[in-house]
A and B are shown apart, each in its own frame.
Chain A
Amino acid sequence: SAVISQKPSRDICQRGTSLTIQCQVDSQVTMMFWYRQQPGQSLTLIATANQGSEATYESGFVIDKFPISRPNLTFSTLTVSNMSPEDSSIYLCSAGGNKETQYFGPGTRLLVL
């Protein structure tokens, strides 16, 4: 199974600022994903991070708000832009692909004031 780390583990940010979350996998993986988990809720897929090309966003999520990079097969970043209190959530990355089990990072807990 892949081991996934995320940085930062948590942050408190001011309204209107941006935060970049990093996701590192200990082995090369085909696919990486970003999810949001709002307080007391389930996980919602934000986008698929595609290596070497633009991410594929789910309905309700846009690139201007959640730009994503994936420069190689082990690393991805998610930026939460122009934050508002409604962006306060846990953000999780996962890795997998080819119908393999997806493993999740520990999450980044974000609080926007």
Chain B
Amino acid sequence: AQTVTQSQPEMSVQEAETVTLSCTYDTSENNYYLFWYKQPPSRQMILVIRQEAYKQQNATENRFSVNFQKAAKSFSLKISDSQLGDTAMYFCAFMTKDDKIIFGKGTRLHILP
């Protein structure tokens, strides 16, 4: 069975700093998709970034980038120049072959002024 592990329950960083959120996963599949979702206090789940496992190039989206290490089954999220609006719960997620999403337990990120 696929699992997603986020080892950092909570993190705090100063505004404008860079922060990296860790995620590891376990699967026997070779082609799959990984995501980072953000859930601010409003509770809306917002897609941050998506990575296809068959692509070696790490995905980037403005200030957000990932470090995807397929052999190590690692998928960390880097947030550069962090902003107060980045304060949220961040979920790492794995999409199974039948499109179901498995979420990690989340990392609560606080951006401090």
Residues of A within 8 A of B (CB): 1, 31, 33, 41-45, 48, 90, 92, 94, 96-99, 101-104, 106-107, 109
User: Which residues of B94-113 are within 8 A (CB) of A?
Assistant: 95, 98-106
**B43 and A43 within 8 A (CB):** no
For the residues of A in contact with B, the DSSP-based class is strand
Neighbouring B residues of A44 by C-beta, 8 Å: 103
Question: A101-B50, A106-B43 in contact; A94/B101 too (CB < 8 A)?
Answer: yes
Is B106's CB under 8 angstroms from A103's CB?
no
Give the number of chain B interface residues (Cβ < 8 Å).
20
Given A42-B106, A101-B35, answer yes or no on A96-B43 (Cβ-Cβ < 8 Å): no
The residue on A at minimum CB distance from B108 is A40
The answer to whether B99 touches A97 (Cβ under 8 A) is: yes
Task: Contact check, A90 vs B101: say whether CB atoms are below 8 A apart.
Answer: no
Within the complex, the shortest CB–CB distance from A80 to chain B, in Å, comes to 17
Bound Cα distance from A111 to B15, whole angstroms: 35
Question: A90-B43, A92-B45, A109-B43 in contact; A43/B91 too (CB < 8 A)?
Answer: yes
Checking B44, B104, B106 against A106 with a beta-carbon cut-off of 8 angstroms, the contacting residue is B44
